A and B are shown apart, each in its own frame.
Chain A
Amino acid sequence: MANISRRHVLAGLGTAGFASSMSTMSGLGFNNAWAADTGGYKAMICIFLKGGMDGADTVLPYDQASYDQLRSVRTGLFNSYNFNSPTSTRNRANLLRMSLDNAGDFGGREFALPQELAPLHSMFEGGDLAVVGNVGPLIEPTTRQRMDNGSAILPRRLFSHNDQQSTWMSFGVEGVSRGWGGRFMDQVVASAPNQNRIFSAISATSNDVFLAGEDVTQFKVGSGGIQEPNLYANRGVLGYNDGDDAARDKIRAFLAKRDFQSRSLLEQDISNSTAKAVDNTEQFAQAQENATPFATQFPGTRLAGQMRSVAETIKIRQFLNVSRQMFYCSTGGYDTHSNQANSIAGRHNELAGAIAAFREAMIEIGEWDNVVVFTASDFGRTVIDNGNGTDHGWGGHHFVAGGSVQGRRLYGEIPFADVDSDSYTRSRGRLLPTTSVEQYAATMGSWFGLNTSELRASLPNLNNFNSSDLGFMGGVTS
């Protein structure tokens, strides 16, 4: 709480007075340990895979025993992949084996990615990508014994899409109003007075809770570039008469006006929102005038379009006045209750193609070491199939990519598919997470520049876990 009250002190001082008051505040006992490191430039990019990605069909077991075990508990799904066919992507011979630098941590067990994720496999082999296994929302380290005897404190409304999306983003069920992406940026703007709040948290997709902070709210970039209101920005609408330019100026001012003395709260919010749109898109469009197009070609998918917008935004970061940025992208189609063998391939292609193009674009502008892309999803899915699909689970496997990622390694666990073991809840092979979302977030947060107190202020249950750094961002495992 201390940092929040401090932030309000800062808000009261205003940004102009910040530098001169810094020494005074130290004198008042404010500790430097509160200040996030906001030097240089860093960005985090969340890719939320809506619907619940099936971890077991994304990072597959490769050693024969583990592969056979998985196949034996999801017969229907493997059959729908026609896995014995020489061309099947789930034929063990066609899986892309991952060369783990930390193979010793897994005994003889080996892992692989399907061909649709080939671009990610290359990044893994090249050390730019890591896998974090069996991540999910947890309040505290949780065992099946404690679940069975009722002593475990569990996240609420497990297996419900919207609630688990919310829990991944905000550590509470739907209705929680602050997400950890926004909270991280709250910490940043409190420590970096020159950081432009407007362009601190940027969504390339829907208005989800992830980017909502106390002081920071999201800016939305469209996938087709920034649009401005044609009514005043396009002379073709009203016409070319002399008087029309004057009308256009007035229209612009009118749309940017926030107060029409309406007594309706909802009307006030809509006025504010339109005004914000006019002002912010104009600022963004001006910054973008400095940009040249990327040589990198992005695929034509929904996710790649969003990642292109993210890349374009990073490219103009110096004109947006930001040293840290949190981005949010999302794509759907992962709720594979049915027809999984046909549908997940397209989703994987989209994911891998978008991340690979983004990497290329970041290398093009020399920012690859300064960004980390990570996946998130509602939940993993049941290891036991329903014939040709899978149902809602809990723990899942995730990717982190970036020039600073300690890649070519697997962090966390990918349990053996013995669904009766303690690695799973009592029914249908729903993985009990062994790494919490908060540990996953904290590891990137440390790299982002947040200190321990700031991480704890953003991640309410982090203290319940022994380790707050999983090591995949090159930090000291703790």
Chain B
Amino acid sequence: MTIMRTRSAAAILAASLMVAACGGGGGDSSVPPGTPVAGGGSGGSGGGGTPSEPASKIDTELEATRFLARATFGGSKAEIASLNGRDAADWLASEFSKSTSLTLPTLAAQPRDSEGRLQSNRVDTLYWDHIIGSNDQLRQRMAFALSQIVVYSDAADNDQLMRAYYQDILIRHAFGNYRDLLEEVTYSPAMGEWLTYRGNRKGDERSGRMPDENYAREILQLFSIGLIDLNMDGSAKLDAQGQQIESYSNDDIEGLARVFTGLSWAGGEFFKRPQDGDIQQMVMYPEQHSELDKTFLGTTIAAGTGGDESIRIALDTIFEHPNVAPFLSRLLIQRFTQSDPSPAYIENVARAFESGRFTAQGGRNFGSGERGDLQATLAAVLLEPTVFDEPSDAGTISSGKVREPILRFAHWARAFDISGLDAYNERRLADTRSSDSALGQQAFSSPSVFNFYRPGYIAPGTNAGDQNITVPEFQIVNESSSVGYLNFMTDFAFDRASQRDRDIDTYKPDYSDELAMVDDPAGLVDHLDDLLTGGRMSDVEKADIVDIISTVEIRTNSAENTAADQEDMVQTAVTLVLNSPSYAVIY
């Protein structure tokens, strides 16, 4: 390896010695397998001794509902019942061992037109069916979280197979190592097209042409280290003058841009896209790769180093940066449990990422011990003891996560065990991007690589904003989105959304349990509160809904009319709970 370091040479040397001494376990690890990190850190409820019962032990169906809202696309009635009484750590272990369900094979098997093309929006509708119907819920949820960090969007390219191939990269690596994920992402045709480095040529002195800097900039800013140097708890490091320290300069970008030259379609020519080039990793075309030296982040890759080797060194260098653990930890926590994670929580997760290990309070170990292990990291996110703490009896609660609209829709479908899991028949699921008339969000279709919202977003004019609490999801909430969401959910909860083939009743909820409760409106609302919010609705709100559904007229002039009106009553109750703030916020 041709590598010269100006900053972290000692650290790299130490790391490679450690790996050698420990007998390996992957060449990417720069931190030796260390002491397992106790969940919650020292001094917490679970620190030190052996607690009689870990915080993550699920003792009620309400706790099960809340946990599944954080860790999956929403709990079904059966899953809630089966999780009750188990330690969530055991549930995690079983999720980690489930087989993987991918998306490309299903998409590729869909009907084609005479020219071999898929019907439009197939990849979008299959995605709904996939996240709602898949058994490997935690893996799919993690892939969805990753899709909002290493953001690929089909906004600029409607190649559905290319997108599904990318979706599967995130699904396959969801429980793997972040370094491996970063490499597969870098070579993926979807990312190459999206961030424009597929076909990126080395500089040319004669014409003055310089390499495209797009991927070099965004892999640093958004996928790995961020803009400023971080402490392990996610706070900014400060220099002697008390100023934040920028983690890279424009010179680093120009140096790193040389690395990402020469990649293009596999099985074709540099400029020519071959058949199936969109579902194979890109390959290096040496003649298009920069031969100059490449200096960035204190590393210099010597002139003449080959393309694949340069990428490997660059990704190692980026991955070794101390920012990676706290940077990713904060983003992941925001996708699962807390809109505004505490420094202590970020540090717990970052230490799991660094050490590649996490030990749950009950003693179960997660992770391979390699730095960047995502099972250890995810376990630290979901088993964080403070997340299971019940709020104290008095005072304002500022913790919790606002769930994005995609999660709220999928949760409804899972809670009511919908039949006819064929989103292609549902016109409104083909494109859910509009905030005026749909969810204001569609997976893998964010407007830019900056995702649907920014992790540091503080909403003006809100209570949370006044307290400087970050709530990314509030960035897509406004007057028209509030009405748009309510109308979208109304259509599905009432089973009145427009369908391609009206003879096939798709996305049909099963309200039989609820219809059996219409004579007890208060009981019905309590049941929906338990099922959908984990029992978080206030008494005032529940009383209001009871009053509303008790007002819905139930005709008695025919059994048919009575049944129809009772259905209205249940559907109204469901819709109002889906619109409850307690359904949006999980804590």
Contact = CB atoms under 8 A, between A and B. Distances in A.
Interface of A: 50-51, 73-76, 156-163, 174-175, 177-178, 182, 203, 206-207, 209, 212-213, 217-224, 226-231, 237-239, 241-244, 246-247, 250-251, 254-255, 257, 259-274, 276-278, 280-281, 332-333, 335, 337-339, 382, 384-387, 389, 391-392, 427-428
A254 B407 CA distance: 24
B212 A217 contact: no
A260 B581 contact: yes
B210 A384 contact: yes
B396 interface: yes
Given A175-B456, A387-B201, A247 B551 contact: yes
13 contacts: A157-B227, A224-B436, A237-B496, A247-B553, A264-B581, A266-B469, A267-B585, A272-B463, A276-B479, A277-B480, A281-B480, A387-B212, A389-B196
B459 A203 contact: no
A266 B398 contact: yes
Given A221-B480, A241-B555, A266-B398, A177 B246 contact: no
Question: Which of A163, A223, A250 has the most chain B CB atoms closer than 10 A to its own CB?
Answer: A250
Given A242-B553, A263-B391, A278-B482, 20 more contacts: A75-B209, A207-B475, A220-B479, A227-B436, A244-B552, A251-B576, A263-B396, A265-B463, A266-B464, A266-B581, A267-B536, A269-B471, A272-B463, A274-B581, A333-B156, A338-B214, A386-B213, A389-B196, A391-B214, A427-B254
Interface stretch (B167-175, B275-283, B541-549): B541-549
B51 interface: no
Nearest to A217: B461
A278 B500 CA distance: 31
Interface stretch (B17-25, B370-378, B446-454): B446-454
Contacts of A217: 460-461
Given A76-B209, A271-B581, A262 B541 contact: yes
Nearest to B553: A243
A386 B572 contact: no
Contacts of A267: 536, 581-582, 584-585
A227 B436 CA distance: 7
Contacts of B544: 250, 254, 257, 260
A251 B479 contact: no
B547 to A, nearest CB: 6
A241 B565 contact: yes
B460 A159 contact: no
B558 interface: no
A274 B402 CA distance: 14
B217 interface: yes
Interface stretch (B26-34, B158-166, B342-350, B486-494): B486-494
Contacts of A51: 448
A178 B460 contact: yes
B121 interface: no
Nearest to A246: B551
Given A212-B461, A267-B582, A277 B208 contact: no
B199 A231 contact: no
A250 B221 CA distance: 49
A20 B460 CA distance: 32
Q: Which 10 pairs, one residue from A and one from B, show the smallest C-beta to C-beta distance?
A: A243-B553, A222-B436, A338-B196, A277-B482, A267-B581, A270-B581, A220-B478, A212-B460, A241-B553, A217-B461
A203 B210 CA distance: 38
B487 A386 contact: no
Interface residues of B, number: 92
Nearest to B548: A250
Nearest to A231: B490
A428 B210 contact: yes
Interface string B438-478: 00000000011010001010111111110101010011111
B571 to A, nearest CB: 9
A385 B572 CA distance: 58
B212 A338 contact: yes
Nearest to A257: B544
A237 B585 contact: no
Contact of B582 (A206, A262, A333): A262
A425 to B, nearest CB: 8
Contacts of B475: 206-207
A384 B213 CA distance: 12
Contacts of B584: 266-267, 270
B153 to A, nearest CB: 11
Contacts of B99: none
B397 interface: yes
Contact of B551 (A228, A243, A335): A243
Given A224-B436, A243-B553, A177 B210 contact: no
A386 B208 contact: no
A156 B213 CA distance: 19
Interface in B484-509: 484, 486-487, 490-491, 494, 496
Question: Which of B211, B214, B400, B458 has the most chain A CB atoms closer than 10 A to its own CB?
Answer: B214
B45 interface: no
Contact of B396 (A159, A224, A239, A265): A265
B481 interface: yes
A112 to B, nearest CB: 23
B196 A207 contact: no
A36 B584 CA distance: 41
A266 B271 CA distance: 50
Contacts of A276: 479, 482
Contacts of B242: none
Given A246-B551, A260-B538, A265-B398, A203 B478 contact: yes
A269 B459 contact: yes
A181 to B, nearest CB: 12
A263 B479 contact: no
Contacts of B402: 266, 270
B537 to A, nearest CB: 8
A264 B480 contact: no
B534 to A, nearest CB: 12
Given A51-B448, A269-B463, A386 B483 contact: no
A160 B486 CA distance: 35
A263 B581 contact: no
B365 interface: no
A360 B480 CA distance: 27
B78 interface: no
Nearest to A178: B460
A280 B479 contact: yes
Contact of B540 (A76, A260, A278): A260
Contacts of B548: 247, 250-251, 254
B92 to A, nearest CB: 26
B213 to A, nearest CB: 4
Contacts of A178: 460
B177 interface: no
Interface in B358-413: 391, 395-398, 400, 402
Contacts of A254: 544-545, 548, 576
A174 B221 CA distance: 13
A266 B400 contact: yes
A273 B482 contact: yes
A386 B538 CA distance: 58
Nearest to B221: A160
Nearest to A427: B254
Contacts of B400: 264, 266
Given A267-B581, A281-B483, A387-B201, A262 B212 contact: no
Contacts of B587: 264, 266
Contacts of A157: 227, 246
Question: Which of B250, B391, B402, B450 has the most chain A CB atoms closer than 10 A to its own CB?
Answer: B250
B225 to A, nearest CB: 13
Contacts of B210: 382, 384-386, 391, 428
A337 B196 contact: yes
Nearest to B551: A247
B195 to A, nearest CB: 8
A229 B436 contact: no
Contacts of B467: 265
